Amino acid sequence: MNIKNKDNNNESQNLKENFMVPLTNPMLYDRLHTLSVEYSISVEQLVNVAVKHLLDDVDSVRNLRTGKIELE
């Protein structure tokens, strides 16, 4: 995995990290590209949404485990 840090503005604390992760599952690779074409959005955007959704789900499970309940 390659990780590159880019500082867009030295005065701010906005850091952007780019991760390069090889997809080892050919079906996952094909599915991402199919969805990208079908919905006219980039594979990068799909991956960002999927990772954010996964992290939100993990946080929800952790909150349930500790007894925290967030009502929307």
**Residue partners of 17: CB distance under 8 A and separation at least 6:** 3, 4, 5, 6
Please state at what angle helix 43-66 crosses helix 26-39, rounded to 10 degrees: 110
15 lies in a domain?
Answer: no
Q: Are 45 and 33 in contact (CB under 8 A)?
A: no
Q: What is each CA distance from 70 to 39, 51, 55, 58, 66, in whole angstroms?
A: 31, 21, 16, 14, 12
Instruction: Assign 3 a pLDDT band (cuts: 50, 70, 90).
Output: very low
**What pLDDT, on the 0 to 100 scale, is given for residue 69?**
73
2 lies in a domain?
Answer: no
Work out the widest C-alpha separation in the chain, in whole angstroms.
Answer: 43
The pLDDT tens digits of the residues spanning 7-54 come to 444 444 567 788 788 888 999 989 999 999 999 999 999 999 999 999
- Of residues 58 and 4, more confidently modeled: 58
Structural domain for 33, as ranges: 22-72
10 lies in a domain?
Answer: no
